């Protein structure tokens, strides 16, 4: 396992998660009813799940 093989996928995951989270925060800020703590927690968990699923899928595509 090389340095690039470990770091670059992680950087992509972090980058994707940041974009997803900021987009969801922006959408949530537009709707006052959404900006409750519980909803924000659900949104962040969803963002993480989507990001990791997507990155695992992409990583699988690249490897095989």
pLDDT, tens digit, 9 for 90 and up, residues 11-39: 777 787 788 778 877 777 776 665 567 77
Nearest to 20 by CA among 51, 41, 42: 51
pLDDT, tens digit, 9 for 90 and up, residues 44-64: 788 778 777 777 776 666 544
Domain ranges of the chain: 3-58
Please state the pTM of the whole predicted model. 0.43
Question: Distance (Å, rounded) from C-alpha 4 to C-alpha 45?
Answer: 28
């Amino acid at each position: 396992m090389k340095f690039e093989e470990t770091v670059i996928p992680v950087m992509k995951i972090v980058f994707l998660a940041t974009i997803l989270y900021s987009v969801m925060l922006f959408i949530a800020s537009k709707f006052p009813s959404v900006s409750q703590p519980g909803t924000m927690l659900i949104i962040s968990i969803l963002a993480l799940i989507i990001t990791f699923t997507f990155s695992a899928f992409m990583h699988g595509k690249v490897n095989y």
